[in-house]
Amino acid sequence: MEEINRRGLVLLGCGKMGSALLQGWLAQGIAPDAVTVLDPAPSDWLKAQSGLRLNEDLPPAPAVVVVAVKPQMIGDALPALQALGGGETLFISIAAGTDLARFEALLDGATPIIRTMPNTPAAIGQGITALIGNGAADAAALDLAESLMQAVGQTIRLESESQMDAVTAVSGSGPAYVFHMIECLAAAGVAQGLAPDLALSLARATVSGAGALAEAADESPAQLRINVTSPAGTTEAGLKVLMDAQTGLPPLVERTVEAAADRSRELGK
């Protein structure tokens, strides 16, 4: 982070994701006065951060610009940073559905640009972020982007930008699918006679605990499922419904991810 502390980092937009990233960067050792945040409606949390350069003039040649505005705001927000394009400054985007070509058109083809897709568990440092760079982004640029995004969780590098729509559908949108699973599991518990608060507590803890186990265990999710499933037991009875090839979870999840990926492709046009 020495280069960032020397030349500076610009954060364009500081909503929930931007705030999570900023908190992680400061914890990593980036100096507050090396960070320039541009946000027209800063949160109380942001205004309370001592030493940050909030809505001040841009540094002349920052090491990094992180674009964390909503995709529909790119066209209005990015022109103010066009002067930083051309090669000296690395641009990192977390704007969903905005491809590298659009950034190159607004900045310069020689500008190193890295497109990322984080997800909402980044807010508690448990996110996962996919990255892909343009032709001007070298190994050092990717390493720097990865270190910055690791402030909020894991990172993976993609082989091609075309994979980003599938990533968006799986990990970007995926937390919403899991939240709905919690809702459905709790509602099913209520239908079987549990009080709503008890059913929700059981469902929430079961899903979060199972996810933590899947992350920590050496076994595959399939093997973990088998470990829980006693022959002719209660879990097996439930799984016969859930794993039905025609009416169960596998075809439903496939259609869900396909619909999200298709929408991501439409938004990117």
Residue range 207-266, pLDDT digits in tens? 999 999 999 999 999 999 999 999 999 999 999 999 999 999 999 999 999 999 999 888
Query: How do residues 32-74 score in pLDDT, each as one tens digit?
Result: 999 999 999 999 999 999 999 999 999 999 999 999 998 888 8
Between CA 225 and CA 242 the distance in angstroms is 12
Cα–Cα dist 226/242, whole Å: 14
Looking at residue 224, its pLDDT comes to: 97
SS3 at position 193: coil
The correct CATH number of 2-164 out of 3.40.630.30, 3.40.50.300, 3.30.1600.10, 3.40.50.720 is 3.40.50.720
User: Rounded to whole angstroms, how far apart are CA atoms 192 and 249?
Assistant: 21
Q: Which amino acid is at 204?
A: R
| Per-residue confidence (pLDDT) for residue 203, from 0 to 100 | 98
What predicted TM-score, i.e. pTM, was given to this entire model? 0.90
Fold adopted by 174-267: ProC C-terminal domain-like fold (1.10.3730)
pLDDT digit string (tens) for 123-171? 899 999 999 999 999 999 999 999 999 999 999 999 999 999 999 999 9
- One-letter identity of residue 79: P
pLDDT tens string 113-126:
999 999 999 989 99
Q: What is the predicted pLDDT for the residue at 86?
A: 87
Quickly state the pLDDT bin for 96 (edges 50, 70, 90).
Answer: confident
Which residues are CB-neighbours of 21 under 8 A, at least 6 positions away?
11, 66, 68, 94, 122, 148, 149, 151, 152
Q: For the chain, what's the residue count?
A: 269
Q: What mean pLDDT is predicted for residues 83-111?
A: 90
**Domain range list for the chain:** 2-164, 174-267
User: Do the Cβ atoms of 121 and 208 come closer than 8 Å?
Assistant: no
